[in-house]
Amino acid sequence: MADDLDMLRADIEAAMAGAEDLRALDAVRVAALGKSGQVTALLKGLGALPPDERRARGAEVNVLKGEIERALEHRRVTLEAFALDARLAAERLDVSLPPRLAAPTSPEAGSIHPISRTMEELIALFGAMGFAVAEGPDIEGDWHNFSALNIPEHHPARQDHDTFYLTAPEGGRRPVLRTHTSPVQIRTMLSQEPPIRVIVPGRTWRADHDATHSPMFHQVEGLVIGRDIHMGHLKGTLVDFLRAFFGIADLPVRFRASYFPFTEPSMEVDIGWSRKTGELGQGGDWLEILGSGMVHPKVLANAGIDPRVWQGFAFGMGIERITMLKHGIPDLRPFYEADLRWLRHYAASPLSPFTLHDAS
């Protein structure tokens, strides 16, 4: 290649190497290949040469042009990668930095619904006692919701005016919106080998509607199965839980004989409060808070567990109920009305999630 072309190429290559961003590189391209660029000028000048020389010179200038185009492209790719790296470095987010809190009333600040918060608390508290979370469907079969739990055919819980039934499939029984979380006891025992230690927070349905009842509400079930799980475990677990959940170290707790078809013996659990002031922990009155008992041997057998080898306890309580008591919420209905004033008052900040530390 002619010396002048070699020199021109060396100049342009040096300019490219010196271009530190895409704009500078584009200036190099324009200076070489633009309308009045140096290489363009050489191509334009070919016409003035005698034919022989023009062909040889033309081939060389075109080779140079091709080389410059490839080198420009190469440099462009490199500079784009640099630019991306620089941008990634500049826009990096440190997600571990403490957040700047939005004002509590600002419309952008979301919050955790009291039901969700209580569920998180339940999972944290029982989680610390070694419980896992189990789940089941909202639409249940009659067998899981009633029969397997030893609930007889004519039990009031099965009656139409208490329970939401769906249309029966051809020749089958009507599916039911589960009336409690207890069917998940059955599902868990059928799907897991004992020992078992689970809680089941979830939606439940009953045809009730007033200041303390909603057709859709939430319960948490507990199930513990082992070779020698006894009433002492039941009582210890529930007393510890209730005192931690309500944050009252000496909360009075009373176990009162009761009846459920799926536990034997069965106990209703009451906590101490004042009927007059509504305050928990003192006042000499009792408030019923949950149902519990030793899992009935028939229920174990229905779920494929040998009651001569395994035994355990179960409990169930209303999540709205314990939430209302804990936070002094007088009416159940606004839980589901999405009223922002209510939510601002009762919902929790998502930036101060519940930790066991709070429960001391």
Binding residues for ligand PHE (CB under 6 A): 180, 182, 221, 260, 263, 291-293, 314-316
Q: CB atoms < 10 A from the CB of 20, how many?
A: 10
d(CA 253, CA 243): 9
Cβ atoms of 61 and 25 within 8 Å: the answer is no
Question: Contact at 8 Å (CB) between 144 and 188?
Answer: no
**Helix/strand/coil for 110:** coil
CA–CA separation, 40 and 299 (whole Å): 92
Check the CA dihedral 354-355-359-360 and report its sign: negative
Whether residue 264 is annotated as binding a ligand: the answer is: yes
Q: What's the rounded Cα separation, in Å, for the pair 267 and 95? A: 48
Determine the Cα–Cα distance for residues 192 and 131; give it in Å rounded to an integer. Answer: 14
What's the token pair of residue 337? 């009305």
Q: Which two tokens stand for residue 312?
A: 């355990």
Largest CA distance in the chain: 118
Residue nearest to ligand PHE (CB): 316
Strands 216-226 and 253-260: unpaired
Q: Shortest gap between Cβ of 184 and ligand PHE (angstroms)? A: 10
Residue 158's identity, in one-letter code, is: R
Of 195, 139, 145, nearest to 167 by C-alpha is: 139
Q: Can you tell me the distance from the alpha carbon of 296 to that of 305, in angstroms, rounded to the nearest whole number? A: 11
Rounded Cα–Cα distance for residues 149 and 145 (Å): 7
- CA angle (216, 221, 224) in 5-degree steps: 170
- Specify the length of the chain in residues: 360
Nearer to ligand PHE, 28 or 184 (CB): 184
Coil/strand/helix, residue 196: strand
Minimum distance from residue 291 beta carbon to ligand PHE (Å): 3
Binding residues for Mg(2+): 264
What residue numbers does the annotated binding site cover? 264
